[in-house]
Amino acid sequence: MRPSARRPAPPLVRAFGTGPGCTTRTPRRRVLVVHPGALPAGHYAELAAALPPDAALHVVDLEQVPEYFQAALRGGRAGVTVPELARQAADALRSQGLFDRPWTLVGWSFGGVVGHALTALLATDELPRRAVLLDSIAPVPAYTRDDEEVGADLVVPWFCMYLAAKRGGTLAAPVPGPAGPGDVDGPLTAVLGEALEHGVLRPGTTLPGLRKVYDAYVDGLLRNNRLVRGFRPAPARVPVTLLRPERGLLDTPDPLGWEQLAGDLTVERTPGDHYTMLRDPVAVKTTAARVLDSRT
């Protein structure tokens, strides 16, 4: 019997090519995205399509780093640091020659933190023209939480946004009830009923099944939060644009801590929520316009 061939691991950097109608294989400018996972990297196809013909988009998919991905399956304890993730991203991009022409950095969520760390490792002539951060929370103490603070009251609304974006449809977070501290099954029971009613989850989905998905989601949050707690960021070396959706992770007028790191900071609003902003047509057009801002 012929031994089965093992499929090669997906690459750390995925190319989406140039914009539609491109007549050359050599783009004039690049958009390099740092993606932290949770949603598939394919969610950036709309952004790639919104770019002009001379712009190429590549995605650094952090879930292809085993130490990072596996941490979400084992209690959120990662065997890697933010600078190490940034170093792997920089090495992969450099090895493909992707710093060879003007480029813009895009970082969604925790990807913005790794993207910020990435710029600290680059030579001056390798730096992007601008960093465009999509609902990314700065790695500063004021926005860093202890593990005990990552509870159901904070996470369940985020989990509802995540489920809706991943499965399709809409899903409102349940109204908080009289559940006691640490009670997750109560809120998740309400989420399950709402999700089944609106077709976000398949018929027959059980509470234990949903709880497994929720636990993995929480472990991913704990992983990223712990990585941030151990990271000491340097000041930004490039202008930063922060795009905040209508429903972001945090309901605050402050620029999510980036004013502490970026001297040249612009904040704008887009439609959608933390997850749907990657595919919402208006949000995607806004992102495309900012990554190609003529000021850069």
Q: Are 265 and 95 in contact (CB under 8 A)?
A: no
Task: Report the distance separating Cα 11 and Cα 121, nearest Å.
Answer: 21
Cβ–Cβ contacts within 10 Å for residue 284, how many? Answer: 24
Q: Count H helices, E strands: the chain?
A: 8, 7
**Does residue 263 or residue 10 have the better pLDDT?**
263
pLDDT at site 25: 62
Residue 19 has pLDDT above 60, yes or no: no
| Rounded average pLDDT over 158-164 | 95
Confidence of residue 152 (pLDDT cuts 50, 70, 90): confident
CA 39-209-109 angle, 5° bins:
20
What is the C-alpha to C-alpha distance for residues 289 and 296, in angstroms, rounded to an integer? Answer: 11
Q: Which of 19-23, 32-36, 94-98 has the lowest mean pLDDT?
A: 19-23
184-214: per-residue pLDDT in tens? 899 999 999 999 998 999 999 999 999 999 9
Tell me how far apart the alpha carbons of residues 38 and 19 are, in angstroms, rounded to a whole number: 25
Q: What is the pLDDT of residue 75?
A: 85
Q: Average pLDDT in the 219-223 region?
A: 94
Give the span between the Cα atoms of 16 and 48, in whole angstroms.
6
- Report the range of poorest mean pLDDT among 119-128, 131-140, 162-171, 276-285: 162-171
Which SS3 state, helix, strand or coil, does residue 108 take? strand
What is the residue-averaged pLDDT of the chain? 90
Q: Check whether 255 has a pLDDT greater than 90.
A: yes
Q: Return the percentage of the chain with pLDDT > 90, whole number.
A: 76
Bigger pLDDT: 82 vs 4: 82
Q: ∠ CA 220-49-236 to the nearest 5 degrees?
A: 55
Instruction: Tell me the one-letter amino acid at 59.
Output: V
71 touches 223 (CB < 8 A) = yes
Q: What is the pLDDT of residue 35?
A: 98
- State yes or no: pLDDT of 22 exceeds 70: no
The pLDDT-based confidence of 1 (bands split at 50, 70, 90) is: very low
Q: In 7-27, which positions are buried (b, 16+ CB within 10 angstroms) versus exposed (e)?
A: eeeeebbbebebbeebeeeeb
Query: Does pLDDT of 179 surpass 60?
Result: no
Condensed to tens digits (0 to 9), the pLDDT of residues 58-109 reads: 999 999 999 999 888 888 888 899 999 999 999 999 999 999 999 999 999 9
| Position 274 confidence tier, pLDDT thresholds 50, 70, 90 | very high
* Three-class SS of 11-76: CCEEEEEECCCCCCCCCCEEEEEEECCCCCHHHHHHHHHHCCCCEEEEEEEHHHCHHHHHHHHCCC
Q: For position 6, what pLDDT does the model report?
A: 59
Query: Is residue 35 within 8 Å of residue 62, measured between CB atoms?
Result: yes
Q: For position 115, what pLDDT does the model report?
A: 98
Please answer whether residues 60 and 32 qualify as being in contact, where contact means their C-beta atoms are separated by less than 8 angstroms. Answer: yes
Phi-psi region of 222 (alpha: psi -120 to 50; beta: other; left: phi over 0): alpha
- SS3 state at 188: helix
Tell me how far apart the alpha carbons of residues 73 and 126 are, in angstroms, rounded to a whole number: 35
Q: Is the pLDDT of residue 230 over 60?
A: yes
DSSP secondary structure code for residue 264 in this structure? S
276, 244, 272: which is closest to 165 by C-alpha?
Answer: 276
